[in-house]
Structure 1
Amino acid sequence: MSNKKLCHIDCPDWASLHGALVYLLLDKLLEPIDHVRFAAVCKEWGAVSEDYNEAKHRWCKKRLLPMLLISSAESEEKLELYSIAERKVYSNIELALPYRKSMRCFGSNHDSGGWLIVVDIVEAESPYLDITLVNPFRKEVPPIHLPRLVPGSPFNYLSEQGLKVILSGDPTLNPDSFVVLAIIPYTDNVSYIKGLNSVWVFWGYGFGSTDAIVNKSKIYSVSRGHGFGRRILFLDVDQAKTNMFYLPEPLFRSPGKLYLVESAQGDLLLVQRVMEPKKNVNGLHHNKELWTSSFVIHKATFIKRDEKVDGPCSPLRLRGCSLILGDGDRSAAVQLNQVESIGDEVLFVGNNYSFSVLASDYPGTCQPNSIYYTDDSMEIELDGDAPYDMGIFNLADKSITPLCSSLNHSKRIIQPPFWTIPPFSGLW
């Protein structure tokens, strides 16, 4: 047999693979970066990849699947990406941040273009928060330093426990309308800032808040009570008016946390994270540490009453910001309906802006009718080999699947994992 024939047998013409076979291969690639690598092999594969993406529209919305950002094993000043589709860490991709142990980092939602919030707790005679917006996915964009946030609390310290800062909007695309909101624990301080060249505004009625979202210049938050009962509030930023709605206590007596999520249909979802004591690796109960056991979802609907009922004759006021007590306002109330299934939707909650995506937009990569959650509790230090309280909760069978189980509390003092959505301009 000639050398030419041997070469023909041993070295097939990969560039001439049939289009249908290439489509089957591309169906198996879950991440856009893998498609980019595939298309870069040769001109022929690039052409077929372009035809595939035009035909399939897998990323027609130019949106990537949410990913986890975790502390790098090499440096505490860097973060790594974890793919929930491939269940692996992209150790070859490290994101540099102006970050050290005294700081906390928070993820933003899908319309923020990959921006993150880095918060430095500065200890001084009057402690304050130094908050910086950074985009590690776009190195050419400089960080944005927000004005110093001084809580104005009688307490002379600040703590990272329970601290949460959210960003809504891309500050480069919407420099006048993006919103940053800071929930500061133990100080009953919730403050927000809208746009560049602005100042922090103290939201007096937001005390006790555990989570918040922003929609069209309105801030919606949920509070844990502090003796005043659990409440949903929404603040009209432009009018400086707050509406407050008390929640029925019997529904929310279990220990846990509350999140707010805007569904793909625009509904406001109240997500309760039910927690209970769990044994550690030595078979002993943690006295104070609570672990996630389930989730309960309610749809919150604000309704207008047909007739006014007895209540205050005029709104209350605090620091120039008017308050309308929704249930005692004589004109509106909140109605809660438990949601047994969210269908094609997937919720992402934790140390980030809570958000929702449709599983059908990412075929084969995430589980529909589920809640992906991270460990956003920093209160108790556990053994180094204790796993993070993070997983995937299935609403259909109430099961929990571990998420990124290789992570443990040995990194807990550095940075808890959080969700982010890297910016994406599409494939071709």
Structure 2
Amino acid sequence: MTRIKKLNKHASATFSSYLSAWPDLLFLVLDKLLEPIDHVRCAAVCKQWQSLGKEYNLATQRWSRVAPMLMISGRSSTSMFSVSEGKSYIKNVQLPNKHNRICGSSHGWLAIVDKTSQDITLVNPFAQAMVPINLPHFKENVSKVILSADPALNPTSYMVVAIYNSTKLAVLRGGEEDWNCIRLPDKLFDSLTDVIIYKGQIYAVSVCGKIVSINVNNCVINSSHSQESLDVRVFMTRSRKFRFRECDEAYLVESTKGHLWHVQRRNIGETQFDGSILFEDGFRVDEVEFSDTDGCMVKHVEVESIGDEALFLGKNYSVSVSASKLPWCLPNSIYFTGDLESVMTIYDVDQLGTACAACDPNYGQKPPGLWITPPFKGLC
């Protein structure tokens, strides 16, 4: 009996030692898993692994920002392309009428505009059982729509911002029945190409380097109220590379460290030996800073390198992720999808923002790909 007790005690100690090693072993495994879905599958094994998965994500903050997937549309279907694995997931995504136009993606949702009525519908392709959200009728021509948060998680507190008629902005809060058109200063006369919600305020950027700031923290934006209390400002920036010339597109993106970056894209001409001019895309990144006291722009300085960051730009809500947390992701790079091509191109910021690689998972089919971020923030 004494011998049996000793064996049981030894077995119990061995098992306890085995269990104590599991966290370190599982953390090593999770480090090697590149896709969020693989972490979900790992957590589904048992309650202990689920608990360790939560602990891992809390400790590493790995999924504080998930890299977007590339949504590509073929002749008969739409799917999500994983750049890391080079293959498609969630095939045959069901979207509203194929004649509609996608004008943005934010927090896992697509903003789809009816070409006839201009009505906007929000669709979540990652949860196709979720009922689409029909926004109030909007009769103007919308070019880009962003969301401040996931409407499913924040049904009454999220905000929708739309760029319409090229030079104007409209805002809608969750639950409101009417769009609120914001009157911008007359001195803003060039096209707006991107908009972002940064530190609770709205910022938009134009092709001529103007940045519009709208302080909505303490204001009620409603069609039945005066907008005179809105603090709307326009700031002019100067960029050496594109001075006196419009860039083709401009973007605003928040870095993983909380900085606001102004990114400009333009075809740069280079004279060849035969006298011809070769044009290729080039990017410039500037860091912008606004005063917390009076809201004035106090900094607009070119960033020579964005370090560990990787930017995902296009029709989506502009996103930055930490490349070191995603082994497949190139640091100091810009992943770009344009309006006129289906190809996804990667740009190296160190090399004057010029292209260093390209991937065309759509095989030349139209329309172009669109970045969309899966709604995954770690295991809760």
TM-score relative to the length of structure 1: 0.67
- Counterpart of 2:282? 294
User: Displacement, 1:302?
Assistant: 2.7
Gap change, CA 1:356 and 1:36, over 3 Å in 2? closer
Shift of the 425–343 alpha-carbon distance from structure 1 to 2, 3 Å rule, reads closer
Q: Counterparts of 2:130 and 2:154 in 1: how far apart (Å)?
A: 14
Aligned length: 336
Residue in structure 2 matching 1:173, options 144, 153, 156? 153
Q: Which runs of 5+ in 1 are unaligned?
A: 1-15, 123-127, 152-157, 279-284, 306-325, 379-386
Q: Is the 8 A contact 2:82 2:88 kept in 1?
A: yes
Residues 1:37 and 1:166: Cα distance change in structure 2 (over 3 Å): closer
For 1:67, the equivalent position in structure 2 comes to 69
Contact 1:99 1:118 in 2 (8 A): no
SS at match of 2:249: strand
Aligned match of 1:193 in 153, 163, 172?
172
Alignment correspondent of 2:96: 98
Q: Find the aligned partners of 1:370 and 1:223 in 2 and give their Cα distance.
A: 22
1:142 matched residue in structure 2: 131
Note closer, same or farther for the CA distance 1:240–1:248 as it changes in structure 2 (3 Å cut). Answer: same
1:119, distance to aligned residue in structure 2 (A): 1.2
User: Letter of the aligned partner of 1:366 in structure 2?
Assistant: C
Hey, what's the Cα distance between the residues in 2 that align with 1:215 and 1:53?
A: 28
Q: State whether residues 197 and 203 of structure 2, in contact with CA within 8 Å, keep that contact through their aligned partners in structure 1.
A: yes
Task: Decide whether aligned partners of structure 1 residues 404 and 59 sit closer, same or farther in structure 2, where only a CA change above 3 A counts.
Answer: farther
Which whole-Å CA distance do the structure 1 matches of 2:351 and 2:268 have between them? 19
Report what 1:222 is aligned to.
205
Among candidates 229, 250, 259, match of residue 267 of structure 1: 259
What residue number does 1:407 align with? 362
Show the counterpart of 2:317.
353
Counterparts in 2 of 1:336 and 1:62: CA distance versus 1, 3 Å: closer
Shift in CA distance, 47/389, structure 1 to aligned 2, threshold 3 Å: same
User: Is 1:182 equivalent to 2:162 in the alignment?
Assistant: yes
CA contact (8 A) 2:194 2:250 kept: yes
Secondary structure of the 2:365 match is helix
- CA distance in 2: counterparts of 1:133 and 1:52, whole angstroms: 31
SS at match of 1:365: coil
Q: In the aligned structure 2, how far is the partner of 1:301 from the partner of 1:427?
A: 33
Once the two structures are TM-superposed, the CA of residue 73 in structure 1 deviates from its matched residue by: 4.8
Residue equivalent to 2:334: 371
| Cα 1:196/1:270, change in 2 over 3 Å | same
CA distance in 1, matches of 2:93, 2:61: 24
**What is the rounded CA distance, in whole Å, between the counterparts of 1:191 and 1:409 in structure 2?**
34
8 Å CA contact 1:211–1:260 kept in 2: the answer is: yes
Write the distance in 2 (CA, Å) between the matches of 1:142 and 1:291.
45
Q: Distance in 2 between matches of 1:295 and 1:67?
A: 22
| Contact kept in structure 2, 1:29 and 1:35, CA below 8 Å | yes
User: Contact 1:164–1:351 (CA<8 Å) still a contact in 2?
Assistant: yes
Flag the 1:194–1:55 CA change in 2: closer, same or farther, 3 A: closer
Match of 1:209? 192
Instruction: Give 1:333 deviation, angstroms.
Output: 4.4
Cα distance in 2 for partners of 1:59, 1:36 equals 15
Change (3 A) 1:144 1:395: same
- Structure 2 residue matching 1:33: 3-state secondary structure: helix
The answer (yes or no) to whether the contact 1:292–1:389 under 8 Å persists in 2 is no
- For residues 377-416 of structure 1, the aligned pairs below 5 Å read 377-378=339-340, 388-398=342-352, 400-412=355-367, 416=368
Determine if contact 2:39/2:53 at 8 Å carries over to the other structure.
no
Q: How does 1:409-428 map to 2 (within 5 A)?
A: 409-412=364-367, 416-424=368-376, 426-427=378-379
Two-structure CA RMSD over aligned residues (Å): 3.6
Conserved in 1, the CA contact under 8 Å of 2:119 and 2:136?
yes
Deviations 1:379-425 (A, max 9, x none): xxxxxxxx63531112234552334324354323xxx2111111226
Residues 116 and 291 of structure 1, relative CA distance in 2, 3 Å threshold:
farther
- Aligned mates of 1:23, 1:267 — CA distance in 2: 30
SS at match of 1:222: strand
Tell me how far 1:89 sits from its aligned partner.
Answer: 2.0
Pairing of 1:23-172 with structure 2 (within 5 A): 27-36=31-40, 54=55, 61=63, 63-75=65-77, 79-90=78-89, 93-108=91-106, 112=107, 114-122=108-116, 128-151=117-140, 158=141, 163-172=143-152
What letter corresponds to residue 336 of structure 2 in structure 1? Y
Give the drift of 1:167: 1.6
Q: Distance in 1 between matches of 2:269 and 2:100?
A: 28
Q: Note the alpha carbon deviations across 1:30-81, whole angstroms, 9 max, x for none.
A: 21334555677x87xx967975774585665465322111114533xxx211
Partner of 2:4: none
1:362-395 deviation per Cα after TM superposition (whole angstroms, max 9, x unaligned) = 34131222111111x24xxxxxxxx635311122
Q: Is the contact between residue 63 and residue 423 of structure 1 (CA under 8 Å) also seen in structure 2? A: no
Unaligned runs of 5+ in 2: 1-17, 220-228, 271-275
TM-score by length of 2: 0.75
Task: Give the aligned residue type for 1:338.
Answer: E
Moved more, 260-269 or 22-31: 22-31
Given that 2:207 and 2:248 are in contact with CA atoms closer than 8 Å, whether structure 1 keeps it comes out as: no
Inter-CA distance 265–25: structure 2 relative to 1 (3 Å threshold): closer
